[in-house]
Amino acid sequence: MPRGIYECLNCGNREVIDSNEPLIENACPKCGGDMILVGFEGKRPVVGLSSPAALPAEVEERIRNFYDVRPLGMEGSVFVFEVLEIRERNFERVLRELEELGYWAALKRRDGKVLLYVFPAGKVKPDNPWLPWVFLILTMITTFLAGYWLSMSYISLLDEYSLPGMRNPYLMALAFSVSVMGILGTHEMGHKIAAAYHGVRATMPYFIPFPSLIGTLGAVIRVKSPLPTRNAAIDLGVSGPIAGFLVAVPVSLIGLKLSVPIPANLVPQEGGITFGENLLFILIGKYLMPFPEDAVVFLHPVAIAGWVGILVTFLNLIPAAQLDGGHIARAFLPEKVHRYLTIAIGLILIGMSYLWTGWLLWGLLILFMGMAGNPGALDEVSPVSKSRIVLTVIAVILFILSATPVPISASG
């Protein structure tokens, strides 16, 4: 049996594998994505669609309803057509109807031509029904514990300076946990709703418990099928940050209202943790809730939760790799340009580690994620709509408002 040449649906990596199955799930050694058969080692591609592995007649008929095409041949299980005319502009409809027949498609520009690639649809494994709930409960516990520690520090501050304020650490810890979980959950549900709208399969949000200052490393959803269009990529990239930001702003306002300003001359210069400023907090402090200029503001735990939400917005909108901002940028940039941008941003963040050591980790993480690339949408021919350009501008504004060059610093 000849060994098959496989290409990853996610990152485009090619490998020679001792198999002739049309699709091998989670087989890519670089990113763990599904790999499709595109040829055989030592054999030339089969030209024409009259071979025994010809595309089913009903699939080809459906394709010709959507496009005026000229068959170019096939490699392995991938059928290639040159598109002479696009009759159906809604690629999501094309993809949805072909998937009903067991196939996926991709519309790309190659050497001045518009090509349509048709290949067997990948199998999407069902979600684990209970694992997201386990992570949710664990993260509720870790964020509550983090909130309790922050609350005890805040109460000790009130006692030290004989200030009025709530002194129930359990209630404050609960408020912190609910605020953080609400922001992160809304962020991920924004992605989930956008994915459902565009017919993209995605898991439920997975919260990541972690014993730390805030009790979590965030939350993620896993996209289990390709992004159909560049509009869909922008919607999925923007939806999470916008949704999370809309919750983080009122949480921040409430938290800052509960926060305590202390005259700077009464505050020790050593032994504290400073949360970095972002433009949103600066604007709130200047125009909505002005604090005395010569004061140090001790943040209430709820304010810290809002600050975390703003930071999460900033980090996710970094236009690199497969972050939310990376998907938005990839909708406008060719894959090679996007790869170079990812490398540049990763190196810049490593250079910024002199401001905050955490940027070293983020820079290395982005470079590692960038190795898998970002394949972009299946349809890279249809233009980006004006409404998605508006959403992109909104994402840029949120990125600027939430930018936090030095997230956390400590004085010895």
**DSSP of 256-308, one letter per residue?**
HHH-EEEEGGGS-SSS-EEEPP-HHHHHIIIIISPPPTTEEEE--HHHHHHHH
Check whether 344 has a pLDDT greater than 70: yes
Q: Is the CB of residue 405 less than 8 Å from the CB of residue 311?
A: no
Mean pLDDT (the chain) is 89
40-54, 180-194, 200-214, 271-285: least confidently modelled range: 40-54
% of the chain residues with pLDDT over 70: 91
Q: Comparing 5 with 385, which gets the higher pLDDT?
A: 385
Structure tokens at 201: 């399969």
Q: How many angstroms separate the CA atoms of 377 and 77, rounded? A: 20
Q: Looking at the structure, do residues 40 and 157 belong to the same domain, yes or no? A: no
Domain encompassing residue 267: 131-410
Same domain, 19 and 97: yes
Asked whether residue 400 is assigned to any structural domain, the reply reads: yes
Residue identified by tokens 């498609």 is 105
**In Å, what is the CA distance from 89 to each residue of 81, 125, 229, 320?**
17, 30, 11, 29
The top-scoring range by mean pLDDT among 23-32, 67-76, 208-217 is: 208-217
Would you state the pLDDT for residue 50?
A: 36
Going by their DSSP bridges, the two strands 4-8 and 35-40 should be labelled as antiparallel
| Same domain as 148, residue 112 | no
Q: What does the H/E/C string look like for 201-218? A: CECCCEEEECCCCCCEEE
Question: Which of 70, 89, 120 is where one domain is finished?
Answer: 120
Residues making up the chain, counted from first to last = 412
Q: Identify the pLDDT of residue 20.
A: 62
Sequence-ordered list of residues with C-beta below 8 angstroms from that of 336, at least 6 positions apart, any chain? none
141 and 72 within one domain: no
**Are 346 and 255 in the same domain?**
yes
Closest among 146, 150, 153 to 301, alpha carbons compared: 150
83: in domain: yes
pLDDT in tens, 154-183: 999 999 999 988 899 999 999 999 999 999
| Inter-CA distances, 94 with 91, 98, 229, Å | 5, 6, 11
44-70 pLDDT tens trace: 444 333 344 578 899 999 999 999 999
Considering the domain architecture, whether residues 112 and 162 belong to the same structural domain is answered as: no
Residues 104 and 173 in one domain: no
Same domain, 27 and 88: yes
Q: Are residues 166 and 31 in the same domain?
A: no
Residue 17 pLDDT greater than 50, yes or no: yes
- What is the structure's pLDDT at 127? 83
Q: How far apart are CA 92 and CA 104, in angstroms?
A: 11
Counted domains in the chain = 2
What DSSP character marks residue 60?
H
List, in sequence order, every residue forming a beta bridge with 262; answer none if it has no partner: 296
- 120 forms beta bridges with 103
136 and 77 co-located in one domain: no
Whether residue 105 contacts residue 94, with contact meaning beta carbons closer than 8 Å, is answered with: yes
Mark which of 120, 149, 170 sits at the end of a domain.
Answer: 120
Based on the domain organization, do 247 and 389 belong to the same domain? yes
